Amino acid sequence: MDRERGIPGLRGGAGVGGQVSSRSEQLLFLTDEQLRQGIELLFFAYRDFTSDPDAVLADRGYGRAHHRAIHFVKRRPGITVAGLLDILGVTKQSLNRVLRQLVEDGLIVQTTGRADRRQRHLNLTPTGDELERSLSAPQRERLRRAFSEAGPDAVAGFRKVLERMIDDDGRDAVLSLVGREPR
């Protein structure tokens, strides 16, 4: 399952060239054209970024929904179904179908909550952990290369912009989850 590479027949656009950081050029920096470039860069980078695990998933008959569930169960071991629902922002019917498969396939275990027995706490089995690793490995490798080629300052900027792109009213929660200090 992969997307075609390359865009044949497209000649270069009017390049804008180097990086700008002088005071007077700050305004110029935010032209519609600059913003549009950002939009497209995001589109293509994210597309390639998500194509990595898709191949792994396809082999096992899973989709991105499974990936997301596995990722956040790995990230927050013992998370409840409602908690996962909250993070993923999908309906419980959608999540449930995915979860059921993963439980049946022995990748996730559900344990009844001790304090609140209505809850089901989710955890990865060793097999689930293994799949998680094989899903995230290519993404981590892609990021590792991009980060190391771009350099630490670029990475700091990358994160800073991404953080500011998140909805105001969800940012702190996300940053806590991610493990960054909310401002």
Question: Rounded to whole angstroms, how far apart are CA atoms 2 and 54?
Answer: 8
Interface with a copy of itself (CB under 8 A), residue total: 89
Stretch that binds DNA, among 23-31, 83-91, 125-133, 163-171 (CB under 7 A): 83-91
- Residue 166, interface with a copy of itself (CB under 8 A)? yes
Question: Rounded to whole angstroms, how far apart are CA atoms 134 and 158?
Answer: 25
> What six digits make up the tokens of 51?
């194509």
- Residue 17, interface with a copy of itself (CB under 8 A)? yes
Please, what is the minimum distance in Å from the beta carbon of residue 55 to DNA?
13
Please, what is the minimum distance in Å from the beta carbon of residue 66 to DNA?
6
Q: What are the phi and psi torsion angles at 101 (to 5°)?
A: -60, -50
Q: In the range 101-120, which residues lie near DNA by CB under 7 A?
A: 110, 115-120
| DSSP notation for 142-175 | HHHHHHHHH-HHHHHHHHHHHHHHS-HHHHHHHH
- Residue 175, interface with DNA (CB under 7 A)? no
CA geometry: angle at 143 spanning 175 and 59, to 5°?
A: 100
- Residue 92, interface with DNA (CB under 7 A)? yes
> What six digits make up the tokens of 56?
């792994």
Binding test (CB under 8 A) with a copy of itself, winner from 81, 87, 103, 109: 87
Contact 85, 120 (CB under 8 A): no
Give the nearer residue to a copy of itself in terms of CB position, either 83 or 105. Answer: 83
Contact characters 25-64, a copy of itself, x per CB under 8 A: xx--xx-xx-xxxxxxxxxxxxxxx---------------
Q: What residue 63 binds from a copy of itself, DNA, none (CB within 5 to 8 A, per partner kind)?
A: DNA
Beta bridge partners of 111: 121
Contacts of 48 (CB under 8 A, 6+ apart): 142
- Residue 50, interface with DNA (CB under 7 A)? no
